[in-house]
Amino acid sequence: MPNLTEINIFPLKSCGQISTQSAVVEERGLRGDRRYMLVDATGRFLTQREHPKMILIQVNVHDSGLEVTAPGQPPLEFSVDLEWHRVRWVKVWRDHMEVSLGPDSVNEWFTQVMGFPCQLVYMGKQHYRALKAGRGKVGDQISFADGSPLLLISEASLNELNKRLMQPVEMKRFRPNLVTTADRPFAEDDWSRIRIGEVEFDLGWACTRCVLTTIDPGTARKDVAGEPLMTLKGFRRGPEGVMFGQNLIPRRLGTLSVGDSIELL
H, E, C per residue of the chain:
CCEEEEEEECCECCCCCEEECEEEEECCEECCCCCEEEEECCCEECCCCCCHHHHHCEEEECCCCEEEEECCEEEEEECCCCCCCEEEEEEECCEEEEEEECCHHHHHHHHHHHCCCEEEEECCCCCCCECCCCCCCCCCECCCCCCCCEEEEEHHHHHHHHHCCCCCCCHHHHCCCEEECCCCCCHHHHCCEEEECCEEEEEEEEEECCHHHHECCCCCCECCCCCCHHHHHHHCEECCEEEEEEEEEEEECEEEECCCEEEEC
User: Rounded to whole angstroms, how far apart are CA atoms 77 and 87?
Assistant: 21
Q: Is residue 158 predicted with pLDDT exceeding 90?
A: yes
Pick the range with the lowest mean pLDDT from 26-35, 63-72, 75-84, 102-111: 75-84
Residue 64, domain member (yes or no): yes
Based on the domain organization, do 248 and 137 belong to the same domain? yes
Based on the domain organization, do 62 and 190 belong to the same domain? no
Confidence of residue 95 (pLDDT cuts 50, 70, 90): very high
Considering its fold, how many domains does the chain have in total? 2
Based on the domain organization, do 48 and 97 belong to the same domain? yes
Q: What is the mean pLDDT of the chain?
A: 94
Residue 243, domain member (yes or no): yes
Based on the domain organization, do 219 and 149 belong to the same domain? yes
pLDDT at 61: 83
Domain boundary among 122, 142, 176: 122
Based on the domain organization, do 8 and 91 belong to the same domain? no
Based on the domain organization, do 151 and 187 belong to the same domain? yes
Percent of the chain with pLDDT over 90: 85
Query: What is the rounded average pLDDT of the residues 148-158?
Result: 98
Based on the domain organization, do 233 and 145 belong to the same domain? yes
What is the number of other CB atoms lying within 10 angstroms of the CB of residue 133? 7
Q: Is residue 241 predicted with pLDDT exceeding 90?
A: yes
- pLDDT tens for 179-234 read 999 999 999 999 999 999 999 999 989 999 999 999 999 999 999 999 999 999 99
Based on the domain organization, do 242 and 179 belong to the same domain? yes
Based on the domain organization, do 107 and 186 belong to the same domain? no
The strand pairing partners of 254, in sequence order, are 25
Domain boundary among 85, 103, 122: 122
Based on the domain organization, do 102 and 166 belong to the same domain? no
Dihedral class, residue 186 (left if φ above 0, else alpha if ψ from -120 to 50, else beta): left
| Domain interval for residue 230 | 4-30+132-264
User: Rounded to whole angstroms, how far apart are CA atoms 125 and 102?
Assistant: 16
Residue 127, domain member (yes or no): no
pLDDT at 83: 59
Based on the domain organization, do 26 and 46 belong to the same domain? no
Query: What is the rounded average pLDDT of the residues 29-52?
Result: 96
Residue 103, domain member (yes or no): yes
- pLDDT tens for 43-90 read 999 999 999 999 999 998 877 778 999 999 999 988 766 556 788 999
CATH at 9? 2.40.33.20
Based on the domain organization, do 171 and 197 belong to the same domain? yes
Domain boundary among 93, 122, 151: 122
